[in-house]
Amino acid sequence: MKFDQPATINPIDRGKVVGIPHDRIDGPAKVTGSAPYAYERHDVAPNAAYGWIVGSAIAKGSIKSIDSRDALAAPGVLAVVTHENAGPLGKGSMNTAYLLGGPKIEHYDQALALVVAQTLEQARDAAKLVRIDYAQEAGKFVLAAEKDTAVKPPAGFGGDPDSAVGDFAGAFGKAAVKIDRTYTTPDHSHAMMEPHATTAAWLGGRLTLWTSNQMIAWAVKEMALTLKMKREDIHVMSPYIGGGFGSKLFVRADAVLAALGARAAGRPVKVALARPQIPNNTTHRPATIQRIRIGADRNGVIDAIGHECWSGDLPGGSPETGAMQTRLLYGGKNRMTAHRLATLDLPEGNAMRAPGEAVGLLALEIAMDELAEACSVDPVELRIRNDVQYDPEAGPGRPFSSRKLVECLRQGADRFGWAKRNPRPGQVRDGRWLVGMGMAVAFRNNLVGKSGARVKVDGKGGVIVETDMTDIGTGSYTIIAQTAAEMLGVPLEAVQVRLGDSKFPESAGSGGQWGANSSTAGVYAACVAARGILAQKAGFNAEDATFEDGMIKSGGRSIPLKQAAGREGVSAEDSMEYGDLDKAYAQATFGAHFCEVGVDMHTGETRVRRMGGAFAAGRILNPKSARSQVIGAMTMGVGSALMEELIVDPRFGYFVNHDMAEYQVPVHADIPDQDVLFVEELDDKSSPMKAKGIGELGICGAGAAVANAVYNACGVRIRDYPLTLDKILRGLPEPAFA
């Protein structure tokens, strides 16, 4: 099925199952521990051995020699895999560095060996006996030091890295009010609960992986490239994933080395990255330096807006596209964005929690707050004055498919009590706490991708949906079941969903906020095909048939769904493909964040007191799981604002705080109250579901709302994230210490 015209009225619009809050159908399996994760597949690999990765102790250089004899002689050791005995290996198209290094070393903790043993403890202990002699080279590890060497990267996922409309420099120079500020964000780690983990087994020349991966079809393709195998000889399964946030979009060292270890040992092998290995061995969000210039009239109406973003990565890597949202978010006739990429010898940078917009809005939305103050305009009103209903780079000929940002701003402000905010910083006290409010806009592009599914209806009226779509904790099982139930007119309990298997039809996968809308649209297409077969078997015209209450109805006649399916059942498969509506219409999701914080006037400690947000993201398929997604993302925004930071050791080129004890993320006590409002919206140009993504929107702008609240509370403007208390203390007036 192809979606190339705006959606009309269809069965999803009935809203009997879709759009209703439902508990997660996979919830009982999760809370009882019966949902097996990759490392727990003892049922399929009962005699598995264990692998432990040996990572590089240097950031750049080469291996002079590697001696694994002592490790091989250790108790229980079955094999040691290195570049010397792994056989010919390629590199996946989505990996910047080789997943098994040697002799060249590209970053600290790059996997150089895998020790396989009977037990985990034996593998871990023997790994210490692998002797590696290095030829170390000097590396580049600090973005600020390499900023001037950064170059324009090639066009990538977001298109051309630079854009220009009008005369930005001239308009900015003539503007009545100017903001010219530089903001910095640090390296970030994904910090998901489940580590990267894989169980691998060979049968003849065929490989089976039970792994933790967000994109099943990508995993098959990348493993085939890496191991130089045929895709049809690789079977990947990932039915349950304990979080990924982008780090599991791509095959990582656990999967490749588990496969190599299993081949070397002649039995299944399990490999899980220990928590301290994850920040340096896998991917992270790169640090950024962002310069934002805004020129406006004295009423705050923007005429010139420019956003430049510098980031770093290994050779062949990609930039953090922090300026992309600035192309679409606010009006202004004269515009400029640019991205520059420096070569750094740090571990690989890649997609993490709303790549681009998450850090871009950390900068842009403080700049907008600073503009509001300079113009003496309320921050909410300033953003309303600069709303634009079309792509401001392309002009009115490319309108937004749906844009309810103003509604989000007004409804969110009213619900939060924004009118009570004192615009003068440092004026509100609650005991020793200085109290302030801040806000920021949320924006995230709406992306869709081809997605397929198979739908089966059996002779009892039960429905089975199969697709390689994954559930990374987002609720995919439930919204897919809701879609099938709505389309086929059966209760939710009658639908069984099977996910995360490369033998199932290829879906769009989980990532980039495209998963829910795309995968349910694929199920929609398969259900349309199934409805056609069922209606024909029932003697009805498929266009006229209604599916509801377990019946097929048409022209005053009705027969049970199970009767139409017959004893042999019905199976249908289809994919949803997309035309060029995204070219004719700008498609995005919007929201408004509001935050109240307290800043201790003696210590500079910041505490979030409450958060609120209003969001417009098309049809909300399951308000319960969508709210869960948004509050989780808002929590991540608090982390970005106040605590998350990978510390680079500039001598040795590695992230020092590489565990959960020292890489701080918010906990329950940090987030006392969160309120979420979904602004009613249907987007008929997004998909037949009339939905859009929601999973990453909540992090976009949330951190800036916190930062702006801190400024309103105590008058200290910080442009270098995170806003740790030492930075706040430096700006507090002397009486704060009295």
Q: List active site positions.
A: 696
User: What backbone phi and psi angles, to 5 degrees, belong to 660?
Assistant: -75, -10
Helix, strand, coil percentages, rounded to 5, for the chain: 30, 25, 45
What is residue 452's three-state secondary structure? strand
Measured in residues, the chain has a length of 738
Helix pair angle (476-488, 515-538), 10° resolution: 30
SS3 of 129-164: the string is CCEEEEEECCCCCCHHHHHHHCECCCCECCECCCEE
The secondary structure element, H or E, covering residue 597 is: strand 588-600
What CA–CA distance (Å, rounded) separates 522 from 469? 10
What CA–CA distance (Å, rounded) separates 490 from 465? 13
**Range list of H helices, 235-356:** 253-265, 278-281
Find residue 498's DSSP bridge partners. Answer: 466
Burial of 64 (C-beta count, 10 Å sphere; 0-12/13-18/19+): exposed
User: What backbone phi and psi angles, to 5 degrees, belong to 173?
Assistant: -60, -30
State the maximum Cα–Cα separation within the chain, in Å, rounded to a whole number. 85
| Residue 62 burial (CB count, 10 A) | 14
Helix pair angle (702-714, 623-642), 10° resolution: 50
Nearest of 156, 106, 98, 122 to residue 49 by alpha carbon: 122
What CA–CA distance (Å, rounded) separates 524 from 448? 14
| Residue 37 burial (CB count, 10 A) | 21
Contact 614, 591 (CB under 8 A): yes
Q: Is 64 left (phi over 0), alpha (psi -120 to 50) or beta?
A: alpha
Query: Cα torsion for 113, 117, 122, 123, to the nearest 10°?
Result: 20
What CA–CA distance (Å, rounded) separates 594 from 702? 8
What CA–CA distance (Å, rounded) separates 12 from 483? 7
User: What Å distances lie between residue 238 and 141, 526, 573, CA to CA?
Assistant: 35, 22, 21
User: What backbone phi and psi angles, to 5 degrees, belong to 176?
Assistant: -70, -35
Contact 576, 3 (CB under 8 A): yes
What CA–CA distance (Å, rounded) separates 650 from 648? 6
What CA–CA distance (Å, rounded) separates 14 from 487? 9
Q: Return the beta strands (E) in 617-689 as ranges.
A: 648-649, 654-655, 674-678
Helix and strand tally (H, E) in the chain? 18, 30
Cis, peptide link before residue 650, omega less than 30° from 0: no
What is residue 372's three-state secondary structure? helix
Query: Cα torsion for 312, 314, 315, 320, to the nearest 10°?
Result: -40
